[in-house]
Amino acid sequence: MMDEPQRETALKFGSYAFLLAVVTLIVVPLYWMIVAATIPQSELFSSSIPFLPGTQFLTNFEALQNRLNFVRTIWNSTLIAVVYTLLSMLLCSMAGFAFAKYEFKYKEPLFYFVLATLVLPIQALVVPLFLLVSTLDLLNTYLAVILPWAANPLGIFLMRQNMQSLPDALLESARMDGATELQIFYKIALPTMIPSLAALAVILFINQWRLFLYPLVVLQEEAMFTIPIALSQLVGAQRVAFEQIMVGTTLAIVPIALLFIFLQRYFIKGILAGSVKQ
Amino acid sequence: MATSIRSELQSSESYQELSDRLRFLRQNVSSVVPKIPGLPYLYISPFYLLFSVFLLFPTLYTIYLSVFSYEGPAGSEYIVSIQAWIFELTIPKISNLEFVGLAHYESLIFSDSVFHLSLFNTGFIFLIQVPLMVILALAVAIVLDSKFIRAKGLWRTLIALPVATGMVAYSTVFLLLFEGDVGMINQVLMSVGLDAVPWLTDRWMARITLVIAITWRWMGYNMIILLAGLQTIPQQLYEAAEIDGATMWQKFRFVTVPQLRPVLLFVIVSSTIGTFKLFAEPFVITGGGPANATLTVVQYIYRQAFVQLNLGYASAVTVCLVVIVSAISIVQVRRGGAAQ
């Protein structure tokens, strides 16, 4: 039988070993991607597999920038993903709050109907969506990609599930203090839900950021390309520009990493517990 | 003597006050109905407005198309024809529709063996991959939530990064890892004297390769959601359990799992739906092969719609898929909710 400090040490050691194993399996392919982005393509397929990053990143980036205006592409992707995320967070948290905390007629059918569309594969909706977007004269606009999944079934489901854990007593005491229903939503519900909102923001941003098939159809002008579409242009019949693809992919991952790091402080422990105690 | 009476009086007064307040509170708590009628509809209307235009309409249109047969355009009436990378897709002008009733559904249910195989493949991935990934994600989330782990943000970010890789990068990386004798994994295996594994050419190995790829990409994403859920569990519950002498397993079983149930349900349901909507991974890594062993339902829809231009048939497959996945999700939500 181990004593308490020994068990604690074993637990710490085991936890770190486990994390390290998981992270290694995940990071090796990504690391290799960065290596491929920083070396000339001739070295990429040489007999000795390169293990260390090279110095060609800027050269490779220049080639990419000259081929497609990649700075413009990054701007397109960023603008679309940011506006989409904010819009969708607002819609989903409002609706999720209503479903979690109010009683109203047709509540269940309305909710389950949206939930049912969660299972619709994007690929299957491309044809009707394309027809719709071209009828609305939105082809080759940012709105064509921002609007369709702003009313996000996944988002409304997540917000409803989380808002249910919001204590009724908390909302009640605010009501007794004279808060209006709207104030209860944005002064009590939203701040308490910050960890969930942060998680939702990450989900929405990433979903939009890597969308491929649908934007490919509705954004056909090169000036409107998002990152995934731009990268797919680099795969030609004769030559695949691996080093340029890897530069583009490495750059595409940076905003996601920043998003995680930036949202970290919102994943604070015990926000919910704190507001119940008061 | 006098003071003791006074204090008794005071306390009875405050007791009265307290019980009044409590009654008032209770009345209010029982009535969750808001003071403004129609308010909930105001909250949900922006969502439902966009939903109706961009999701409901395309859905209804899909159902409508599923009872028609489309025999290809007369001449070359294409609205869109795109060739990019491994994608060749065409959207024809919608005309020449012929009403066929439920004929598509009949052949889907009774005779389309490729559809049945695609359902089997998708079901297999669902049964293996979802439990594997959720357990792994939960384990990582719990470890990351423990007090002694340092640089949590760094770990979390690294583990979730694969989600950000797009289709092109994803396929390039996985082909370089798994393809034939030139793939890095087989090179490593052969260099230590082992046989190369037919990752992409054997039916079952190809399915397993897909499970590995999907887990690599999505585990961190689900871990982030579970971690956010873990952090909303009040710390007092763990403290109370510790005072009662609960072991680590008991704390997990009787505090973490019940408290995490809504979030866990979310992760399981969305992963389930995710596997049934699987498209990118098989499309770029295995191409649905070998011999359709990794062909998923959505890949089949894509093939029918954009390559063979059977828009009506593709719509019928979509409707079938939606019915099947809805049924599974409803069972999951009911069971997950009922156990509370």
Percent of chain A with pLDDT over 90: 28
B-interface mutation test, from A80, A105, A120, A269, most B Cβ less than 10 A away: A120
Of A102, A161, A202, the CB nearest to B266: A161
Any chain A CB within 8 A of the CB of B325?
A: yes
Asked if residue A77 is part of any domain, the answer here is yes
Of A19, A161, A242, the CB nearest to B143: A19
Asked if residue A141 is part of any domain, the answer here is yes
- For every residue of B207-252, DSSP letters joined together read HHHHHHHHHHHHHHHHHHHHHHHHTTS-HHHHHHHHHTT--HHHHI
Rounded distance, CA B59 to CA B67, Å? 14
- For every residue of B299-312, DSSP letters joined together read HHHHIIIIIS--HH
Per the CB < 8 A criterion, the answer to whether B141 and B133 are in contact is no
Q: What is the mean pLDDT of chain A?
A: 84
Any chain A CB within 8 A of the CB of B41?
A: yes
CATH number at residue A201: 1.10.3720.10
Per-residue pLDDT tens over the stretch A19-39: 999 999 998 888 888 888 888
Asked if residue A66 is part of any domain, the answer here is yes
Rounded distance, CA A134 to CA A142, Å? 13
Per-residue pLDDT tens over the stretch A219-259: 989 999 999 889 888 876 667 777 888 888 888 888 888 88
pLDDT at site A224: 94
Q: How many domains does chain A have?
A: 1
The residue with tokens 């000036």 is A223
Q: Name which residue leads in pLDDT, A234 or B250.
A: B250
Asked if residue A26 is part of any domain, the answer here is no
Rounded distance, CA A203 to CA A193, Å? 15
pLDDT at site A233: 84
Return the SS3 of B56: helix
pLDDT over 90 at B338, yes or no: no
Give the range with max mean pLDDT: A138-142, A264-268, B148-152.
A138-142
pLDDT at site B147: 83
Per the CB < 8 A criterion, the answer to whether A35 and A52 are in contact is yes
Confidence of residue A116 (pLDDT cuts 50, 70, 90): confident
Per-residue pLDDT tens over the stretch B281-320: 888 888 887 889 999 999 999 888 888 888 899 999 999 9
Which residue range(s) make up the domain with A231?
58-277
Per-residue pLDDT tens over the stretch B198-247: 888 899 999 999 999 999 989 988 898 888 788 878 888 999 998 998 88
Q: What is the pLDDT averaged over residues A83-87?
A: 97
Interchain proximity A110–B48, CB inside 8 Å: yes
Could you count the other beta carbons within 10 Å of the beta carbon of residue B88? Answer: 11
Q: What is the mean pLDDT of chain B?
A: 83
pLDDT at site A202: 83
Domains located in chain B, CATH noted: 104-338 (1.10.3720.10)
Per-residue pLDDT tens over the stretch B33-70: 555 678 889 999 999 999 999 999 999 999 999 999 87
Give the range with max mean pLDDT: A136-150, A223-237, B93-107.
A136-150
Percent of chain B with pLDDT over 70: 86
Structure tokens at A269: 């422990």
Per the CB < 8 A criterion, the answer to whether A121 and B321 are in contact is yes
Any chain A CB within 8 A of the CB of B302?
A: yes
Burial of B301 (0-12, 13-18, 19+ CB in 10 A): buried
Asked if residue A10 is part of any domain, the answer here is no
Any chain A CB within 8 A of the CB of B183?
A: no
Which DSSP state fits B337?
H
Asked if residue A50 is part of any domain, the answer here is no
Could you count the other beta carbons within 10 Å of the beta carbon of residue B204? Answer: 10
Per the CB < 8 A criterion, the answer to whether B149 and A195 are in contact is no
Amino acid identity, position A69: N
pLDDT over 90 at B168, yes or no: no
Rounded distance, CA B33 to CA B37, Å? 8
Per-residue pLDDT tens over the stretch B72-87: 655 556 677 777 777 7
Looking at the complex, report in whole angstroms how far the Cα of residue B108 sits from the nearest Cα belonging to chain A: 16
pLDDT at site B21: 58
pLDDT over 70 at A194, yes or no: yes
pLDDT at site A237: 62
Residues 240-299 of chain B with CB under 8 A from chain A are 262-263, 265-266, 269-270, 273, 276-277, 279-280, 298
pLDDT at site B22: 55
pLDDT at site A49: 64
Cis peptide before B290 (omega within 30 of 0): yes
Confidence of residue B71 (pLDDT cuts 50, 70, 90): low
Could you count the other beta carbons within 10 Å of the beta carbon of residue B279? Answer: 20
Percent of chain A with pLDDT over 70: 90
Amino acid identity, position A51: F
Asked if residue A31 is part of any domain, the answer here is no
Q: Name which residue leads in pLDDT, B156 or B78.
A: B156
Give the range with max mean pLDDT: A99-108, A239-248, B6-15, B119-128.
B119-128
Q: Which residues of A touch B279 (CB under 8 A)?
A: 121, 123, 213
Backbone dihedral angles phi then psi of residue B59, each to the nearest 5 degrees: -65, -50
Asked if residue A53 is part of any domain, the answer here is no
